[in-house]
């Protein structure tokens, strides 16, 4: 092992388009000696890594990628491990920490660890269809390759009943088709069939495609692994082909900015129930 201290940068490249990759991510990739990543993501940054050492593997080989990245960085190299979106959101960052824990790595040891954030799939997809994430939202992956389906279903039920906007990652694949159907069934227990739903495929990539539909009809369209599904809350509306979730300003203010009776700027929202209690 080299005496020099290596650097492992865990990098989110965003959706893959150069203009949506952060300068920090681009800098880390440029400075790296070794690039490690899933083959599809390597192709997205190919123009940046010609002449560098590259380790690229396919799906289901994430543990091997993480271990290779840690070992080479530990030996003194400057290594970048890339994920699409943000490496800390359904990405490789968590697995890197598991590998580091296994080897009993301590802060100050080689490699130096750098975590470089990127634009998530929800950010990318939301920007293409409007402003669906302006109020409370959550993300759930429908892939049951690593999480039991009953656990996923329970989470869908919980967030649907709590009226979150829901982002569904990994909604379907060639072998997984029932999960998105079951997800619709669960969500429809709590949402109207007219609830806006956006389907976004390959955001900011060559095959980008968006559809704005509703909860009753979104299964009529093609949905695959490259699709992200955005399900609105009870407050989400459509406007001029956009999907919008209001923050709630009209609960406290009139359209001219004046405060509604019983409300105060900078203080908790007073509900009708609160006002009723005060009258009593």
Could you please report the per-residue DSSP string of 156-189? HHHHHHTT-EEEEES---SS--HHHHHHHHHHTT
Helices and strands counted in the chain (H then E)? 9, 13
Structure tokens belonging to residue 7: 């650097």
* Cβ atoms of 181 and 219 closer than 8 Å: yes
Q: What is the DSSP letter of 73?
A: H
**CATH number of the structural domain 7-119:** 3.40.1010.10
Beta bridge partners of 35: 54, 80
Q: Is the pTM of this model over 0.85?
A: yes
Extract the residue ranges of the chain whose pLDDT is less than 70: 1-3, 17, 275-280
pLDDT at 35: 96
pLDDT at 280: 45
The number of residues making up the chain comes to 280
Looking at domain 122-244, which CATH architecture does it have? 2-Layer Sandwich (3.30)
pLDDT at 250: 83
User: 252: closest CA among 243, 261, 239, 240?
Assistant: 261
Kindly calculate the radius of gyration of the chain based on its CA atoms and give it in whole angstroms.
22
The domains of the chain are located at: 7-119, 122-244
């Amino acid at each position: 092992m080299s005496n020099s201290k290596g650097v492992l940068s865990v990098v989110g490249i965003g959706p893959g388009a150069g203009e949506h990759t952060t300068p920090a991510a681009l800098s880390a990739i440029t400075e790296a000696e070794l690039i490690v990543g899933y083959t599809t993501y390597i192709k997205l940054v190919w123009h940046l890594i010609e002449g560098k050492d590259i380790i690229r593997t396919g799906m289901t080989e994430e543990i091997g990628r993480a271990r290779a990245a840690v070992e080479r960085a530990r030996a003194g190299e400057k290594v970048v491990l890339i994920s699409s979106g943000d490496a800390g959101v359904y990405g490789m960052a968590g697995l890197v920490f598991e590998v580091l824990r296994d080897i009993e790595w301590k802060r100050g040891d080689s490699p130096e660890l750098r975590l470089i954030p990127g634009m998530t799939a929800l950010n990318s997809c939301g920007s293409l269809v409007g402003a669906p994430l302006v109020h409370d939202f959550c993300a759930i992956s429908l892939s049951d390759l690593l999480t039991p389906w009953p656990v996923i279903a329970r989470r869908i039920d919980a967030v649907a009943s709590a009226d979150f906007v829901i982002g569904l990652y990994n909604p379907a694949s060639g072998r997984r088709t029932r999960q998105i159907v079951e997800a619709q069934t669960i969500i429809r227990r709590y949402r109207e069939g007219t609830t806006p739903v956006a389907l976004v495929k390959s955001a900011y990539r060559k095959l980008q495609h968006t559809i704005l539909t509703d909860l009753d009809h979104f299964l009529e369209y093609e949905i695959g692994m490259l699709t992200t599904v955005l399900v609105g809350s009870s407050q989400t509306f459509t406007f001029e082909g956009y999907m919008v979730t209001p923050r709630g300003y009209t609960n406290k203010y009139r359209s001219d900015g004046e405060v509604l009776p019983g409300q105060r700027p900078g203080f908790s929202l007073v509900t009708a129930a609160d006002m009723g209690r005060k009258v009593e």
